[in-house]
Amino acid sequence: MTTLKELGVNNWLIKACKSMRIEKPTYIQKCCIPSILQLKSVIGCAQTGSGKTAAFALPILQILANDPYGIFALVLTPTRELAIQIADQFKAFGSEINVKVATIIGGMEITQQAALLANKPHIVVGTPGRIAAHIQNSPLISFRKLKFMVFDEADRLFENKTLMKPISQILEALPENRINLFFSATITEKILKLQEISKTKIEVFMDNEDEDENENENEKNNLQNQDIKIKTEKIVYKIPSTLKQQYVFIPKYARECFLLHILQKFEKYGQEKHLSPFLVIIFTSTCLMSHETNLILKKMGIKNVPLNSSMPQRNRLESLANFRNGKIPILVATDIASRGLDIPNVELVINLNIPNSPIDYIHRIGRTARAGKNGFAISLVTQFDVERIQRIENFIGKKLDLLEVNETEALKFLKPISVSKKMAKMALLYPKNSNKQSKRQKLHLKKRRQTFLEINSEEQKQRKIEIEIEKEKEK
């Protein structure tokens, strides 16, 4: 078995790892750490919860300790929450050398961030838009001595067209001889083509493509047989074998009824298995649905918090902190929670809406069954989602299992849910503090009201279709 010491990691970092309960390196760490210590550029692909952050943070900090200066490394992430998480991990790993880390993200005071950057922190972690804004508007801030450029969740960074302009602006401000590190749970052809922006050869590592030669051969075969690995040309996705994927076929008008029934069902399961807290992430397709579902569940007596991009940053951080520490066991989130967030004890993921892209589905369900643990992923499928779920099944090469639920019990919630839904909509459309809102908040409220009108119109049309189908069945 390979140890961190054998990978070339210094004792002070090994001590920091032990304090964070990291006893032995994961496969992606075994591959990447020696190469990065040798100042090689790397592309690393590994499933969620496999320690990708440590794979680049440990060697960067070790090299920094030999000749500390700022700004030494820049880490880009697609979401604010992931940037904060990575910054915290750098601080924890680098506490022995008093590493200075600056988190530069939107939703925070820009002048305070400029002051932080002017003090030349060792590590800067941030989102592309805000980093680019500082580069464009603050001539005193320089990245010209940068040693490491890290792209975390690289597939999302480079697949998102809106992020390409700020990323290009950032790259123009960096030295050409930098070391480029790309990490993600999914590696696409676009990422492999990114080797072109590196002046040095990039080594590519994909989790479990080859096992450590010292590992037991039978264990190796079992791992390869159990894990679902999806390859599309050079694109690689991986789903843990410990993750049980299921679906429930439901009428669209009763979506929240079945959600409540499933939450109660798994609450009992958690009590039987002595899993406390039993953490659940409910994924929705829009910010509006995240807020609405949050209010409906609250009115039904279910403690939960929302997380979406329409929330002020301090509220987003508060929601995440309350969920992470188990104070509130249910998070109702959009896809900003589907990438990179390391919350190891999530037992259940529920897709309230089926995502358009199978890749988004894989990242959502990747929030559970992390680091070899068990987990459940349940998708609520209406008659309008059949094509999407079939695309997902074809993509992953596996049929989802049917979750048996008591439809009669679920539909008992129809009336109270209907009342709660109306109250939630009223609270969203006519908030108590609307007179004190800023112009931006009032604009959001106007858009929200328009969206509700469009949704209600569409729901009425679909409900008429459902009634017609039910009548035809009765004939």
If you average pLDDT over residues 347-357, what whole number do you get?
96
Split at pLDDT 50, 70, 90, the class of 428 is: confident
Burial class (CB in 10 A: 0-12, 13-18, 19+), 339: buried
Q: What is the pLDDT of residue 343?
A: 86
Q: What is the pLDDT of residue 116?
A: 94
Burial class (CB in 10 A: 0-12, 13-18, 19+), 159: middle
DSSP 202: E
If you average pLDDT over residues 339-353, what whole number do you get?
90
92 or 450, which is more confident?
92
- Name residue 119's amino acid: N
Q: What is the pTM of this model?
A: 0.82
Q: What is the pLDDT of residue 221?
A: 39
If you average pLDDT over residues 307-321, what whole number do you get?
92
If you average pLDDT over residues 157-168, what whole number do you get?
92
Query: What is d(CA 464, CA 302) in angstroms, rounded to the nearest whole number?
Result: 31
Cα torsion 386, 449, 334, 163: sign: positive
Residue 401 has pLDDT above 60, yes or no: yes
167 or 238, which is more confident?
167
All domains of the chain in start order, with CATH: 11-237 (3.40.50.300), 240-429 (3.40.50.300)
Contacts of 193 (CB under 8 A, 6+ apart): none
Q: What is the pLDDT of residue 177?
A: 92
Q: Render 403-426 in DSSP notation, one character per residue.
A: PP--HHHHHTTHHHHHHHHHHHHH
Query: What is d(CA 209, CA 187) in angstroms, rounded to the nearest whole number?
Result: 13
> Cβ(111)–Cβ(149) under 8 Å?
no
Q: What is the pLDDT of residue 121?
A: 97
Structure-token pair, residue 289: 């649905």
Residue 163 has pLDDT above 70, yes or no: yes
Query: What is d(CA 398, CA 175) in angstroms, rounded to the nearest whole number?
Result: 45
If you average pLDDT over residues 414-429, what whole number do you get?
89
Query: What is d(CA 283, CA 127) in angstroms, rounded to the nearest whole number?
Result: 22
Q: Distances from the Cα of 69 to the Cαs of 64, 95, 97, 115, in angstroms? A: 7, 16, 12, 17
Q: What is the pLDDT of residue 166?
A: 96
> Cβ(135)–Cβ(143) under 8 Å?
yes
Q: What is the pLDDT of residue 214?
A: 43
Q: What is the pLDDT of residue 209?
A: 42
Q: What's the mean pLDDT when you consider all of the chain?
A: 86
191 or 36, which is more confident?
36
Q: What is the pLDDT of residue 232?
A: 47
Q: What is the pLDDT of residue 474?
A: 61
Contacts of 231 (CB under 8 A, 6+ apart): 237
Split at pLDDT 50, 70, 90, the class of 446 is: low
Residue 210 has pLDDT above 60, yes or no: no
If you average pLDDT over residues 244-267, what whole number do you get?
96
Beta-bridge partners for 377: 245, 349
